[in-house]
Amino acid sequence: MSYKNKSNMGLFARYLTFWVFLSMFMGMILGNIAPEFTLALAHFEIGHINLSVAILIWVMILPMLLNIDYSALHKVWQHRNGIMVTVGINWLVKPFSMALLAWFFIYHVFSDVLDPLQWDSYYAGLVILAAAPCTAMVFVWSKLSGGDAQFTLSQVALNDVIMMVAFAPIVGFLLGMASIQIPWNTLILSVLLYIVTPVVIAYFWRKHLLKKQCLDRVLQRINPYGMGALLCMIVLLFAFQGKQIIAQPWVILMLAIPITIQVYFTSGLAYLLNKRLGVAHCIAAPSALIGASNFFELAVATAIALFGFESGAALSTVVGVLVEVPVMLSVVAIVNHSKSWYEKA
């Protein structure tokens, strides 16, 4: 991806915080004034897979996936240090550190305040959130931080490939450690539906469009739909959880604490490791951001499929949406303002 479609992304990226918070606000209003409609959407499912969420995820991520040239994976070696750091953070650090943070805060620090019947569900949601590295919003964060487009492209392509085989086992392992029963059929179906299928479709669709020499034209047309689907997704998720968010503001705050700590810890660790390895700032910045951000749409969809849309797991992942944008924008500001320090010998 070369970020050619700046005009499509410009308005969205420039006012990102406003659009996201407006979508959250609209979702909470919808969930409270039209509960029957929200309930109908929540139960629009097949085999525990919510079709409303599935459709929006597909519309949202397909334009992003079309930008990814999986043949560029052979170029990973060019940025091997940055790639190594990000892969290590995404798959060896983030899920396990979040499991530790979730265990510490839910079962100990906030155990007297949180409902004991929801402890396992809250824990599961946080683990699912951390086990899904971001695919879509990463391109926005990378652009805002002046990241190298080819590195971001290669890293996302590699993450997609790893996610197809690693997401379910990591989630299953970490939830199993907490003695949480895993419906493996639903978890595997979620991976096939939300990760494998769109990646395969985008791969062959991209090849077809390149053969017809119309990839850029198609991307210009469909990119706004992807951004629109993202905002609709946020509206829908906050409509599902609107009543709980308003009724349980302190629970939201308590769940936000480990998520926020996780973002700053993983992004800071990736940033410092890249500096130690002598990686250029245009690689280190997106590496830190990719290492910290989450594929919250996949996380929410998986949590709903596994535990239900009214579960603590679903609420935990939606809190991830609430925290993601402002915290990630602060990380963007930090890496941008520290560029001169980073580049000092």
How far apart are alpha carbons 270 and 266 in whole angstroms? Answer: 6
Domains in the chain, CATH or no CATH each: 6-336 (1.20.1530.20)
Cβ-Cβ contacts under 8 Å for 182 (sequence gap 6 or more) = 171, 172, 175, 176, 306
pLDDT of residue 75: 65
Looking at the chain, list the stretches that DSSP marks H as alpha helix, in order from N- to C-terminal side: 6-14, 16-33, 35-42, 51-66, 80-88, 94-104, 119-130, 138-144, 149-177, 184-191, 197-211, 215-247, 249-276, 281-292, 296-307, 312-337, 339-342
Q: Are 27 and 239 in contact (CB under 8 A)?
A: yes
pLDDT score recorded for residue 14: 63
Q: What are the pLDDT tens digits along the chain (345 aa)?
A: 344 444 445 556 566 668 878 888 898 888 888 888 887 887 777 766 778 878 888 888 788 778 777 766 666 677 789 989 999 999 999 999 999 999 999 999 999 998 898 899 999 999 999 998 877 678 778 888 888 877 887 788 788 888 888 888 999 899 888 778 777 777 788 788 877 888 888 889 988 988 888 988 888 888 788 778 878 878 887 787 777 777 778 888 999 999 999 999 999 999 999 999 999 999 999 999 988 888 877 888 888 888 887 788 988 988 887 888 889 989 999 999 999 999 885
Q: Which of 270, 297, 228, 10 is nearest to 140 (CA)?
A: 10
Pairing of strands 45-46, 49-50: antiparallel
Distances (CA, A) of 130 to 102, 260, 271, 341: 11, 12, 18, 29
Q: What is the 3-state secondary structure (H, E, C) of 306-325?
A: HHCCCCHHHHHHHHHHHHHH
Cα 16 from Cα 9, distance rounded (Å):
10
Comparing CA positions, the residue from 294, 275, 318 lying closest to residue 98 is 294
State the DSSP string of 275-311: HHTT--HHHHHHHHHHHH-B-HHHHHHHHHHHH-TTS
Residue 109 confidence (pLDDT): 93
Q: What is the pLDDT of residue 345?
A: 56
Please state the φ and ψ torsions of residue 286, each to the nearest 5 degrees: -65, -30
CB atoms closer than 10 angstroms to residue 212: 10
The rounded distance, in Å, linking the Cα atoms of 41 and 51 is 8
CB 186 within 8 A of CB 48: yes
pLDDT of residue 224: 80
Q: What is the dihedral of CA 17, 42, 127, 124, to 10 degrees?
A: 140
